[in-house]
Amino acid sequence: MATPVFLPPTSYDYVTVQKVQGSETTEASDVLAAEEPLEIRVGYGPESRRQHRTLSVTMRTPGHDFELTAGFLLTEGIIRGREDLQGILYCPDVAKEEERENVVRAELSPASVPDLPRLERHFYTSSSCGVCGKTSIEAVHAASCPVLPTQGPYVATAVIHQLPAQQRAAQALFEQTGGLHAAALFSPAGELLLLREDVGRHNALDKVIGAVLLAGQLPLHGAVLLVSGRASFELVQKAAVAGIPVLAAVGAPSSLAVSAAHNFGMTLCGFVRQNRFNVYSHSWRITGEAEPTS
């Protein structure tokens, strides 16, 4: 008997729908992926005179909010590592009850000196596109991106072929709603290490990176990342900040994503589905047979 998967009740909603099949209409219950705004605030400065500011509002699927916050702070260059983060909490001082678990505050370490002009930019991040264009490009230069390994890891083509099915099998919320993206970390041998889901591709990846950051396990030099949907510049940038050398996507990459992957030394695969895929950069990591990663 399969082990039941626990889903946070705030991650989905039940609605009544009219189902039409041919000429017949029936009433039924449907499950939708929840989408709610998350306001990210930061606290910084000496203990005697802390300052607090709103940094971002992003539309996300509730759940793993602290991981999402930590990953966002890292990949947008606000923090450089776990040592810059003192803690994350839900803000108790909200105006409305429904905001109580939709506003988080990340307290930066007193010794951390954030980029104040960056903090003064009040980002609005949609669930579909992430923080785009100039902001993300600046974040790449601001963050200390780990140098990706120049020897391995090597990943067999057969492993790449298997990743989408493994990811889908582990997507509990997608099976319930059919409306979520996923980001999943695998070992070079194809072992699933971590998966997160969200209505936004960039949010799902920030949750993965945040979980690893909070666990003190960055950089991810031995990991393979699979994302649902297309591979955008933002996803390549975030993966680079986390030190991920191999990024695979079910959909197509953008031209800027391919260019960035070349520059970062990252292996980028696209159209990973139906037993096929394309390799757009640094194809030397993809092998016909598995090779040792040492």
pLDDT digits (tens, 9 = 90+) for 63-75: 899 999 999 999 9
Mind telling me the catalytic residues? 129
Q: What is the rounded average pLDDT for all residues in the chain?
A: 81
Q: How many Å apart are CA 82 and CA 140, to the nearest integer?
A: 18
Using DSSP's 3-state secondary structure scheme, residue 257 falls into helix
pLDDT score of 187 more than 90: yes
Per-residue pLDDT at 276 exceeds 80: yes
- Residue 195: which pLDDT band, with cuts at 50, 70 and 90? very high
If you write DSSP's letter for every residue of 6-45 in order, what string do you get? P--GGGEEEEEEEEEETTEEEEEEEEEE--EEEEEEEEES
State the pLDDT at residue 184. Answer: 96
Which tens digit of pLDDT belongs to each residue from 197-211? Answer: 998 889 999 999 999
Highest mean pLDDT among 51-65, 88-102, 162-176: 51-65
pLDDT tens readout for residues 143-153? 456 689 999 99
Question: How far apart (Å, rounded) are the C-alpha atoms in residues 293 and 95?
Answer: 52
DSSP-derived 3-state class of residue 272? strand
Mean pLDDT of 111-118: 75
Helix axes 134-142, 233-241, angle to 10 degrees: 20
Q: Which residues contact 33 (CB under 8 A, 6 or more apart)?
A: 11, 12, 61, 173, 177, 179, 180, 199
Burial annotation 205-237 (CB, 10 A radius, 16+ → b, else e)? bbbbbbbbbbeeebbbbbbbbbbbbbbbbbbbb
Could you report the per-residue pLDDT of 59-114, keeping only the tens digit for each? Answer: 888 889 999 999 999 998 889 999 999 999 998 877 776 677 889 999 999 998 77
Phi first, then psi, for residue 171 (nearest 5°) are -85, 85
How far is the C-alpha of 204 from the C-alpha of 212, rounded, in Å?
13
- The model's pTM is 0.79
Quick one: tokens of 118? Answer: 């960056």
For residues 238 and 234, give the distance between their C-alpha atoms in angstroms, rounded to a whole number.
Answer: 6
Residue 122 in this model has a pLDDT that exceeds 50: no
Tokens coding 81: 């590592």
Q: Give the pLDDT score at 20.
A: 54
**Which residue, 80, 97, 75, 223, is CA-closest to 149?**
223
Q: 6 pLDDT exceeds 90?
A: no
Do 212 and 242 form a contact (C-beta atoms < 8 A)?
Answer: yes
CA distances from 254 to 34, 165, 231, 246, 260 (A): 28, 23, 6, 16, 10
DSSP-assigned letter for residue 63: S
DSSP label at 231? B
291: pLDDT confidence band, cut at 50, 70 and 90?
A: very low
